[in-house]
A = this chain, B = another copy of it.
Amino acid sequence: MLERFKVPEADRVYVREAPMRAATEAIFVALGLPEDDARQSADVLMFNDLRGIETHGVSNMLRSYVAGYRAGTLTPRPEIIVERETPTTALIDGGGGLGLHVAPHAMGIVIAKAREYGMGSAVVHHVGHMGGAGYHAMLALDHDMIGVAMSTSGRAIVVPTWGAEPRLGTNPIAWAVPAGEMAPFVFDIGTSQVAANKMRLAQRVGAKIAPGWIARMDGTPVMEEVDVPDEFYLLPAGGTRELGSHKGYGLGAVVDILGSTLAGIGPGFVANTPGYHLAAYRVDAFIDVAQFKRDMDTFLRGLAETKPAPGHERVVYAGLLEAEEEVRRRADGIPYHTEVIDWFRGIEGELGLDFAFT
């Protein structure tokens, strides 16, 4: 994550993983989720917080999930139904449950199909927020598989290249690939230039946004450094056509097609609700796992040992900084903004819970 998004030192409260995990689980249980699903859902949020992906940790997302359960738009005990199936594919009705536990359930089906046939995939509709794609893609790693996860956002806020009306969500996509000694390759991005909830984060930490990140309401890209305006659209990754926004736009459209239209709920801008596409393929369906992991180590080490350009200390690859951050945060605790701790204090009282860190 760019420096500008980090919680300023003065506003940080460090909380150990264990009490925050316990608090998050307790909130999910209090909202009516079964123990297992509460544990699974908290695991996704703590995974993101431990790896420094705070846009998808407890700070931004948990309060919106709480609101969803309270408003009845999220079902705490969903009935998950496989509506159509082939040896390798499944169409799944998520029963209106939260993706934090529905997506891992669906990924289990995908992995079982890949184990038997080499590849597997599933689309999921009637489901809530995924909670970040990386976690779900990484579920394939322990099975020596490559994992893919993508989700439409359920809300059109990204303008197409040259467009003045939003047509796509931030439509995230992730690939996770196992390695040997090196931290696994986990490439997890939004297909917009910047994630929607990075805007909320920017407001919280008082950060400006960079040129080429957002568009004015008439579609014109904002090419100056500005505070987060009241109204804006997001630009596709790349920002402007000259800088390759047609690539971000097209990749966002791929996610929209595979996650939403292929799941039978139509384009994202019609569905206005998330749709997922999950996939896994067995490495040994192509080549021996040992050789693959050895070659992945060569690849990832080669990237990480690239001579840096002037002004940079090192070169990294997708997943490396996150793995390093996880080690640090397991040791030192997770830095939260004081405002987030205040929110936990509030919900603790409302739900009659007792958190160790508040």
Contacts and interface: CB of A to CB of B under 8 A. Distances in A.
B281 A121 contact: yes
A162 B298 CA distance: 19
Given A88-B117, A193-B244, A244-B193, A267 B298 contact: yes
Contacts of A220: 309-311
A241 to B, nearest CB: 8
B264 A287 contact: yes
Contacts of A119: 88-89, 119-121
B286 A262 contact: yes
Contact of A254 (B187, B215, B267): B187
Interface stretch (A8-16, A54-62, A299-307, A323-331): A299-307
Size category of the binding interface on chain A:
35 or more
Interface stretch (A43-51, A69-77, A94-102, A312-320): A312-320
Contacts of A287: 84, 91, 262-264
A118 B164 contact: no
A74 B160 CA distance: 41
Given A247-B189, A264-B291, A281-B89, A257 B177 contact: yes
A288 to B, nearest CB: 8
Nearest to A168: B303
Contact of A256 (B251, B257, B299, B308): B299
A232 interface: no
A246 interface: yes
13 contacts: A160-B317, A162-B315, A164-B306, A164-B308, A187-B253, A189-B246, A237-B238, A250-B317, A262-B286, A262-B292, A266-B298, A270-B298, A270-B302
A356 interface: no
Interface in A197-217: 210, 212, 215
Interface of A: 2, 84, 86-89, 91, 117-121, 123, 146, 159-165, 167, 175, 177, 185, 187, 189, 193-194, 210, 212, 215, 218-220, 237-239, 241-244, 246-251, 253-254, 256-258, 261-264, 266-267, 269-270, 281-283, 285-287, 291-292, 295-296, 298-299, 302-303, 306-312, 314-318
A257 to B, nearest CB: 5
A248 to B, nearest CB: 7
A316 B161 CA distance: 8
A137 B42 CA distance: 39
Given A146-B258, A164-B306, A262-B287, 16 more contacts: A86-B282, A88-B285, A89-B282, A163-B315, A165-B307, A167-B303, A167-B306, A193-B244, A210-B243, A237-B247, A251-B251, A253-B317, A256-B299, A262-B283, A263-B287, A269-B299
A266 B266 CA distance: 40
A118 B308 CA distance: 44
Contacts of A270: 295, 298-299, 302
B318 A162 contact: no
